[in-house]
């Protein structure tokens, strides 16, 4: 059987609008030949023109092997819907003050506890410029930096996993946590389980995955520059926070809230989101979101023994407080609504 390489990835995923923009192909390419480039309406992966596999016949195919949207991953991708399997479902909040928390600060609490304990040595996540709100993938290794940058950036599309190369190759991290939206978590799980020789070093370095509930992700230029600033008249520096709760809620620095129906944001949504039916990140060790818990709390879906262990350690250390009830019916309803996309 012919091994597949970037030409197959381009044909099956990039050229068909299926790309989720997770960034796995960028990180896995050993020749650094794949980049993300602004081309037209949306950013997307692009090849610099040299592939060792194609040009020199050197066995590779790492980019194809890591992608969650290829034909080889089609069956799993289509089945990744609903709430998924869970060991436990909890409502929780941080046991310490997290000023910029998105809901209950539970994810920050789990990760801060793990960093302090040494069970992880880095976190691949997304942070936004506090003035412009422009997001980017980063590696965090310090507890205080983590807390300062708290507040999920799930509303933004960012090639999150591109930061894996910095974490593993440049900084030699060996116990990483990845926090991201479902598509990025699915790619991380593929990398973890792969026997591909170029993927295995990254897979060994991933210790924990935390998936964020996600309806869709937005392109920064479309949402901030064109919609919020261009049409509504709110400057980026005047935005305190952005929340997605069945609608986009823009909170200004003075506390004023503006609600925008998601139907009005279709042009801001990354095209690859339209073929994703996974709301709750079914491939994660822990999934987290505001849906299903009271305001000020985070819903946690603990899916694996690894996830259970990290939550238990955070509770034992007083970093995470388990409180309140979860409403599984509302989570199932939102998950079902997103899964309907795949039937269209």
CA separation for the pair 187, 201 (Å, rounded) = 15
DSSP labels, 12-32: IIITTT------HHHHH-TT-
pLDDT average, residue stretch 225-236: 89
Per-residue pLDDT band for 166 (boundaries 50, 70, 90) equals very high
Position 240 confidence tier, pLDDT thresholds 50, 70, 90: confident
Residue 301 is inside which H or E element, if any? strand 298-302
Q: What is the DSSP letter of 298?
A: E
Distance CA 87, CA 107 (A): 17
pLDDT at 144: 85
Q: List the 286-289 sheet strands across, edge first.
A: 135-140, 122-128, 176-180, 206-212, 286-289, 298-302, 88-94, 320-322
Residue 101 pLDDT grade (very low, low, confident, very high; cuts 50, 70, 90): low
Write the DSSP string, 137-148. EEEE--HHHHHH
Nearest to 183 by CA among 20, 333, 8, 17: 20
Confidence (pLDDT) at 304: 98
Which residues fall within 8 angstroms of residue 130, CB to CB, at 6 or more apart? Answer: none
Per-residue pLDDT averaged across 25-35, rounded? 93
> Higher model confidence: residue 190 or residue 136?
190
Q: Is the pLDDT of residue 155 over 70?
A: no
pLDDT band of 148, cuts 50, 70, 90: confident
Report which DSSP code applies to 269: B
Q: Are strands 286-289 and 257-261 parallel, antiparallel or unpaired?
A: unpaired
Determine contact, residues 333/291, Cβ cutoff 8 Å: no
pLDDT at 37: 79
Given a cut of 60, is residue 152 above it in pLDDT? no
The whole-number average pLDDT for the span 213-218 is 87
Partners of 258 in the β-ladder: 250
Confidence of residue 118 (pLDDT cuts 50, 70, 90): very high
Cβ(299)–Cβ(231) below 8 Å: no
Contact 287, 280 (CB under 8 A): yes
For the cut 70, the answer to whether the pLDDT of residue 318 exceeds it is: yes
pLDDT of residue 100: 66
pLDDT score at 102: 67
What pLDDT does residue 153 have? 55
Q: How confident is the model at residue 1 (pLDDT cuts 50, 70, 90)?
A: low
pTM, 2 dp: 0.91
Average pLDDT score over residue span 142-156: 72
Of the chain, the percentage scoring pLDDT greater than 90 comes to 56
The reported pLDDT for the residue numbered 40 is 57
Report the pLDDT value the prediction gives residue 113, as an integer from 0 to 100.
Answer: 96
How far is the C-alpha of 238 from the C-alpha of 278, rounded, in Å? 32
- The band of 151, judged by pLDDT with boundaries at 50, 70 and 90, is low
Q: CB under 8 Å to 340, separation ≥6 — which residues?
A: 277
For range 88-94, the mean pLDDT:
94
User: Is pLDDT of 39 > 70?
Assistant: no
Tell me the average pLDDT across 145-157.
Answer: 69
Band of residue 55 on the pLDDT scale cut at 50, 70, 90: confident
Taking residues 156-180, report their average pLDDT: 92
Mean of the per-residue pLDDT values of the chain? 89
Can you count the helices (H) and strands (E) in the chain?
A: 12, 13
Residues 6+ apart with CB under 8 A from 329: none
């Amino acid at each position: 059987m012919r091994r597949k390489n970037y030409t197959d990835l381009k044909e099956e995923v990039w050229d068909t609008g299926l790309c989720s923009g997770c960034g796995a192909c960028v990180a896995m390419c050993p020749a650094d030949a794949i980049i993300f480039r602004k081309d037209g309406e949306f950013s997307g992966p692009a090849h610099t023109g040299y592939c060792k596999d194609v040009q020199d016949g050197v066995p590779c195919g790492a980019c194809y092997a890591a992608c969650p949207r290829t034909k080889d991953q089609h069956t799993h991708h289509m089945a990744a819907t609903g709430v998924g399997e869970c060991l436990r479902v909890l409502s929780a909040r941080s046991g310490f003050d997290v000023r910029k928390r998105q809901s209950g600060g539970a994810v920050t609490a789990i990760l801060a506890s793990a960093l302090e304990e040494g069970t992880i040595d880095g976190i691949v996540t997304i942070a936004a410029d506090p003035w412009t709100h422009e997001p980017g993938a980063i590696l965090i290794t310090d507890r205080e930096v983590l807390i300062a940058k708290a507040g999920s950036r799930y509303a933004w599309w960012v090639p999150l996993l591109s930061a894996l190369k910095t974490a593993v190759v440049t900084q030699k991290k060996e116990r990483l946590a990845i926090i991201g939206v479902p598509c990025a978590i699915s790619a991380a799980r593929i990398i973890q389980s792969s026997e591909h020789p170029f993927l295995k070093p990254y897979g060994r370095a991933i210790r924990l995955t935390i998936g964020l509930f996600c309806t869709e992700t937005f392109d920064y230029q479309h949402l901030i520059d064109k919609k919020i600033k261009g049409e509504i008249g709110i400057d980026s520096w005047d935005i305190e926070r952005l929340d997605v709760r069945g609608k986009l809620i823009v909170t200004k620095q003075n506390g004023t809230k503006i609600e925008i129906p998601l139907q009005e944001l279709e042009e801001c949504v990354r095209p690859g989101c339209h073929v994703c039916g996974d709301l709750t990140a079914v491939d994660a060790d822990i999934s987290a979101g505001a849906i299903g818990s009271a305001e000020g709390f985070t819903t946690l879906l603990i899916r694996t023994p690894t996830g259970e262990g990290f939550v238990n350690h955070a509770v034992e250390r007083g970093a995470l407080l388990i409180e309140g009830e979860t409403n599984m019916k509302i989570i199932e309803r939102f998950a079902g609504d997103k899964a309907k996309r795949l039937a269209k």
